[in-house]
Chain A
Amino acid sequence: MRLVAEDVQYRYAGSDHAVLSGLACDVPSGTSAAILGPSGSGKTTLLTVLGGLLAPQSGSFYCVDENGQRHVPRSVSTWVLQTVSLLPDRSVIDNTALGAYLDGWGVAEAKARAIAALADMGLADRAEAPAKVLSGGEAQRVAIARALASDRPILFADEPTGQLDADTTDRVLGFMLGSARRTVVLVTHDETAAARCDLVLKLRGGALVEIDRTVLRDAG
């Protein structure tokens, strides 16, 4: 699923300046892109615009499949959010299976996929625990497991490894970026993590200042 943004401008209500201004980018299908930039540069805003959570005041964005069919981003994407995005009263496996339910899996299959994803995140033994008792790092890995349990072709992630140690980050990124079919867009401050993506979109002051094609460059 390819993601395209053209001349996007976004300004929060009550703000006198645009967070995103004339921004354009193109993330090809099946590639991974990291959005890098200093705080306040508009990284999360760009991510949420690409994911259809915020509508830009001007410009356009869309996601299109290999057949040229356009899709509503929210219908074809899954998310790992910067904030704790779990349902606190529900169990870890319930939270994780939500990703698979959205793909139309039945209860048994969705829970099997959830268990597999939790195992990848090293959390299989916490499956029945309520989400509210998890540590920050565990909650973040459950959110990632929820995304991995889904087959949706786009994964948006906002600081997905912000609360993880280096070893765990390395392993988690391996799972997130491992699918050749999935388009991944992640916001990060971690340049090492960004370097593992196919594209690095560097933002400053709401504008895209550099596109670094890491894989293409390394391959070339």
Chain B
Amino acid sequence: MRARPWPLSLAAREGLLNAVAGRWLPALMILATAVVTAGAGLSNAFDVSRLASAEADWIDAGGYTYVVEPGGNGDSATVDVSSCERLRDVEGINGAFALTVTDETAWPSNAPGTSSTFAQASLGVYDFFGLAAPHTAGVIVTPSVAESTGLADGELTDMSVSRHDGSIVRREARVEVVALDTQSLPEALAGTYLSTELVGGEAQQCYVETDAAHDDAVRGYLAAALASGDEPANVRPRLSKNTYGVDFATAYDTRPLGWAWVAGAVFLAALWAIVRWTRRSRLAIYATFGADARARLVMQMSEWTALTGLGAIWGWAIGVCFALAMGSDAQIAVTQVSGQAAASWCLASVVATLIALAPVGTLIDALKDRT
């Protein structure tokens, strides 16, 4: 027997016309979709922003930074400055410098009554802290020292260095002040002058900064890279992972709100199932006039797409705007709201497709119980 299929263009047009023909039901679907997508996206934008902010603070405070020290037990054990500096060329290492905190103190000529610990660092310290290296010899001044001495960035001063007991003045030199304004200063350097005199030889420590993506690999690499003979170097994180009480990667992966899109999709699909059930007799009318399963699928999905697509776009716009207005990072706002909205809509659409494929039941029953 020859069956003449319903034109799919007619089915799509009927779906779109049905979408705009009703008043409250289409408005409800659009509104519900907007609320679901905006809600899921907005809650995640806030959640991820909070996490990203905490991680940024942690990184600023020295997260993903390792302190590499000689593996040997003797006080005379050291790390090689050149080896430490060369780490800056290794993939995944964002900065490295060698450091020796001396038993000397220093003071500037404009504040002779002051005295602070004198430390020596390799040149990598400038990149490490994002500082511009001066054209002449420089000394990095930590915030507390700058405050107590009145030294300012770019200022030229004569530095005097002596033993702690003040007995031997080793040298005086004219240097350019480089002020350091960072939270990530190691505790050992708080209140010190940091001279970039280390261009070779040995140092007490090597500071290495990496990032989340390379953290494990770099940590494993350092012990061997800065080994002293057969003795692997001692590698310890500058900050404990638990400084902020979380492992950020795991915290991101295990966020309960990350599944908000599923809840949103279930809600939308359930709402659509109710709408579809209340409209079963209309589908039966179409079926009576020859609309086969394929035509009914196209009809329902075009209506679904028109209503929920509009709602999802609306919800996306609301979500992004509110997230931005409430201080979320733009990239996080866009990616989180977009991701949640798209995932929620796609999953709900899959369920809506399955709902649309469900049989309309006995046509006579569907038509007879029409109210």
> Cα distance A189–B288 when bound, in Å?
23
Confirm or deny: A15 has a beta carbon within 8 angstroms of a beta carbon on chain B: no
Taking a contact as CB atoms closer than 8 A, the residue among A54, A69, A72, A78 that contacts B289 in the complex is A78
B290:A75 contact, CB within 8 angstroms: yes
Taking a contact as CB atoms closer than 8 A, the residue among A69, A70, A74, A104 that contacts B288 in the complex is A74
B17:A90 contact, CB within 8 angstroms: yes
Total number of A-B contacts with CB less than 8 angstroms?
73
B288:A75 contact, CB within 8 angstroms: no
> Cα distance A81–B370 when bound, in Å?
12
**1/0 per residue B327-369: CB within 8 Å of A?**
0000000000000000000000000000000000011100110
Provide the residues of chain A in CB contact with B18, threshold 8 Å: 87, 89-90
Q: How far is the CB of A65 from chain B (nearest CB, A)?
A: 9
- From residue 1 to 59 of chain B, which have CB atoms closer than 8 A to chain A? 1-7, 10, 14, 17-18, 21-23
Once A72-B2, A102-B10 are accepted as A-B contacts, the answer to whether A44 and B364 lie under 8 Å apart by CB is yes
Taking a contact as CB atoms closer than 8 A, the residue among A53, A71, A90, A102 that contacts B364 in the complex is A53
Confirm or deny: A85 has a beta carbon within 8 angstroms of a beta carbon on chain B: yes
Confirm or deny: B280 has a beta carbon within 8 angstroms of a beta carbon on chain A: no
> Cα distance A69–B367 when bound, in Å?
30
A102:B368 contact, CB within 8 angstroms: no
Provide the residues of chain B in CB contact with A75, threshold 8 Å: 2-5, 290
> Cα distance A91–B18 when bound, in Å?
10
Confirm or deny: B285 has a beta carbon within 8 angstroms of a beta carbon on chain A: yes
Confirm or deny: A116 has a beta carbon within 8 angstroms of a beta carbon on chain B: no
A79:B289 contact, CB within 8 angstroms: yes
Provide the residues of chain B in CB contact with A163, threshold 8 Å: none
Q: Interface majority SS on A: helix, strand, loop or mixed?
A: mixed
Q: How far is the CB of A52 from chain B (nearest CB, A)?
A: 9
A101:B10 contact, CB within 8 angstroms: yes
> Cα distance A70–B282 when bound, in Å?
28
A83:B370 contact, CB within 8 angstroms: yes
Confirm or deny: A129 has a beta carbon within 8 angstroms of a beta carbon on chain B: no
Look across to chain B and name the residue whose beta carbon is closest to the beta carbon of A53: B363
Confirm or deny: A94 has a beta carbon within 8 angstroms of a beta carbon on chain B: yes
B370:A102 contact, CB within 8 angstroms: no
> Cα distance A87–B3 when bound, in Å?
25
B285:A74 contact, CB within 8 angstroms: no
Look across to chain A and name the residue whose beta carbon is closest to the beta carbon of B362: A54
A74:B290 contact, CB within 8 angstroms: yes
Confirm or deny: A133 has a beta carbon within 8 angstroms of a beta carbon on chain B: no
A81:B4 contact, CB within 8 angstroms: no
A84:B1 contact, CB within 8 angstroms: no
Provide the residues of chain B in CB contact with A48, threshold 8 Å: 363-364
A102:B3 contact, CB within 8 angstroms: no
User: Could you list some 17 contacts between A and B, CB below 8 A?
Assistant: A44-B364, A54-B364, A70-B1, A71-B1, A74-B3, A75-B3, A75-B4, A75-B290, A83-B368, A83-B370, A85-B285, A89-B18, A89-B23, A94-B21, A98-B14, A102-B10, A102-B289
